[in-house]
Amino acid sequence: MPDLKVMRTPRSVDIDITNNCNLRCRYCSHFSGPGDVKQDLQKEEWLSFFKELGSINIMDVVLAGGEPFIRADLKELIQGIVKNRMRFSILSNGTLITDDMAKFIYDTGRCNSVQVSIDGAGPETHDVFRGKGCFEKAVKGISFLKKHNVSVAVRVTVNKSNVGELDKIAKLLLEDLELSGFSTNAASFLGLCRENEAQVHLSVEDRTFAMEKLLQLNRKYDDSISASAGPLAEAKMWLDMEQARMENKDSLPGGGFLTACGCVNVRIGVRADGVIVPCPMLSHIELGRIVKDSLMDIWQNHPKMIEMRMRAQIPLSDFDFCAGCDYISYCTGNCTGIAYTRTGKEHQPSPDECLRRFLEEGGKLPVGS
Amino acid sequence: MNPNDTPIGNPLLVLREEFDDWAVLFDPDTGNGFGLNPVSVFVFNHLDGKHTLKDIYVELCENFDEVPQNAEKDIHDFVDVLLKKGYVGFEQDW
């Protein structure tokens, strides 16, 4: 049975610091989802909240949105984080990062990384779903960050239009831009991707190709590519599951229960309107409001947080979807957010990341790995 | 380190108590974390510039069962490690 010990407070808080963005990328996980709240909070409320976070010893804040750099008061907000003894990361489309802002971020000494989305080896691919001129601006943003020695964490969202040029993207990022690594995920059934699924979502064939290609690239580039979701993460996870099945292992860690992804044990989220949620991908679950409600109390005692953690005790054998699956003892049920957007229920395995379904639909696991 | 020294914890550090009185001593300037067991948490919480290492040892014996004989030396060693990391210091008279 999984251990349900809970930390006194979360280590990290994921904050949609704004609901505004200068872009409308067609696979954006934010817009049109429950996190798209059509309003922003004033700086003063965030600063009060950061004071609370410091007082309960939060280590890291992740600023996302929307596009964080669209806020004119971003520097003051970052200063509020620094003043309260925390570190921060920023998730960005990169197009609004200036030389001055990059220098400011470096000078704080507290930035873990600025993540910039790059989805193509050039504008013809990157701009397809993000808009004209975005590639050039994002690369310029990266150059400012690099100039000032800010850690850059590029994220490549693998989608239907760029899956064929993953090797060119890796070359751009690792050779031309000389980054030490990058991460990948995939356009997932969240936010605007739900409306544009046919255009952006990877087919089974695309996923088969992407898994093989990303593993190859990792061999070429000494494991410089990472992933916690999407084809590379699936390739690693599914190969482990297949090996466990072939060796007739009893289970894998967390296997057989809805243990994924476990983020409710280490982090919590806040929407742009100040509503506290278990995770940005579960923004429909409203737990309270910043400053008005105690984050520590919500973290420790809110019935919904307890319920989300108890999810890890639900056996996959409870679900018809998993009946008869050879991988059931090795599977964690995968992303709760995607499970919810696909099925309308949180306490379900995510069908999108189901290995059995992938194989039944003609998908193939990577070979030669 | 002298038994009568009164070291003080670096106020810029964050002592994050997590599970069962275990904690992480977190340095936000470097991002480094240093795991502390419950006894180490007790010691760190007493590094306030007022308690001597001897005082801390005495209070430790009052608050924990079966404190080993070499605990006083262990406290010194632990505080030495913290000192080398810059996690504790001494108040200066200027």
b/e code A229-256 from CB counts within 10 Å (16+ = b): bbbbbbbbbbbebbebbeeeeeebebbb
- The candidate with the shortest Cα–Cα distance to A164, out of A215, A131, A210, A129, is A210
Q: What is the pLDDT of residue B33?
A: 93
Cα B42 to Cα B63: distance, rounded to the nearest angstrom? 9
Q: How far apart are the first and last CA of chain B?
A: 21
Question: B31-79, pLDDT tens digit by residue?
Answer: 999 999 999 999 999 999 999 999 999 999 999 999 998 999 999 999 9
Parallel/antiparallel/unpaired status of strands B8-9 and B88-89: antiparallel
Do residues A182 and A132 lie in contact, with contact meaning Cβ atoms separated by under 8 Å? Answer: no
Cα A274 to Cα A224: distance, rounded to the nearest angstrom? 36
Question: A93-142, pLDDT tens digit by residue?
Answer: 999 999 999 999 999 999 999 999 999 999 999 999 899 999 999 999 99
Cα A291 to Cα A274: distance, rounded to the nearest angstrom? 9
Do residues A287 and A278 lie in contact, with contact meaning Cβ atoms separated by under 8 Å? Answer: yes
CA distances from B89 to A1, B23, B33 (A): 45, 20, 18
Q: What is the pLDDT of residue A261?
A: 84
Q: What is the pLDDT of residue A1?
A: 46
Compare CB distances from B28 to A7, A9, A110 and report the shortest one's residue: A110
Question: A38-93, pLDDT tens digit by residue?
Answer: 999 999 999 999 999 999 999 999 999 999 999 999 999 999 999 999 999 999 99
Q: What is the pLDDT of residue A193?
A: 86
Q: Does B15 touch chain A (CB under 8 A)?
A: yes
ipTM for the predicted complex? 0.89
Compare CB distances from B12 to A5, A59, A85 and report the shortest one's residue: A85
Question: A183-221, pLDDT tens digit by residue?
Answer: 999 998 888 888 888 899 999 999 999 999 999 999 999
Highest-pLDDT range among A190-194, A261-265, B26-30: B26-30
Cα A70 to Cα A96: distance, rounded to the nearest angstrom? 7
Q: Is the pLDDT of residue A2 over 60?
A: no
Looking at chain A, the number of H-run helices and the number of E-run strands are: 13, 10
Q: What is the pLDDT of residue B93?
A: 66
Residue A176 token pair: 């031309």
Indicate the burial class of A7 (C-beta count within 10 angstroms; 0-12, 13-18, 19 or more): middle
Q: Give the torsion sign (CA, B17, B19, B24, B26).
A: negative
Q: What is the pLDDT of residue A173?
A: 98
**CA within 13 Å, CB half, A271:** 23
Q: At what angle do helices B71-85 and B38-45 cross, to 10 degrees?
A: 70
A269 to chain B, minimum CA–CA distance in Å?
19
Nearest chain A residue (CA) to B15: A57
Nearest chain A residue (CA) to B19: A7
Size of interface A-B (CB pairs under 8 A): 31
Q: What is the pLDDT of residue B91?
A: 81
Average pLDDT, chain A: 96
Whole-prediction pTM: 0.94
Q: Does A292 touch chain B (CB under 8 A)?
A: no
Indicate the burial class of A8 (C-beta count within 10 angstroms; 0-12, 13-18, 19 or more): middle
Compare CB distances from A7 to B14, B18, B28 and report the shortest one's residue: B18
Count of C-beta atoms within a 10 Å radius of residue B22: 15
Question: A295-340, pLDDT tens digit by residue?
Answer: 999 999 999 999 999 999 999 999 999 999 999 999 999 999 999 9
Cβ-defined contact of B14 to A59 (cutoff 8 Å): yes
Q: What is the pLDDT of residue A74?
A: 98
In Å, the largest CA–CA distance within chain A is 58
- Mean pLDDT over A149-168 rounds to 97
Do residues A280 and A293 lie in contact, with contact meaning Cβ atoms separated by under 8 Å? Answer: no
Cβ-defined contact of B20 to A11 (cutoff 8 Å): no
Q: A347: Cβ–Cβ under 8 A, 6 or more apart, which residues?
A: A258, A311, A314
Question: A12-30, pLDDT tens digit by residue?
Answer: 999 999 999 999 988 888 8
Parallel/antiparallel/unpaired status of strands A87-92 and A111-117: parallel
Compare CB distances from B14 to A7, A57, A109 and report the shortest one's residue: A57
Do residues A307 and A285 lie in contact, with contact meaning Cβ atoms separated by under 8 Å? Answer: no
Q: Is A176 left (phi over 0), alpha (psi -120 to 50) or beta?
A: alpha
Reported residue count of chain A is 369
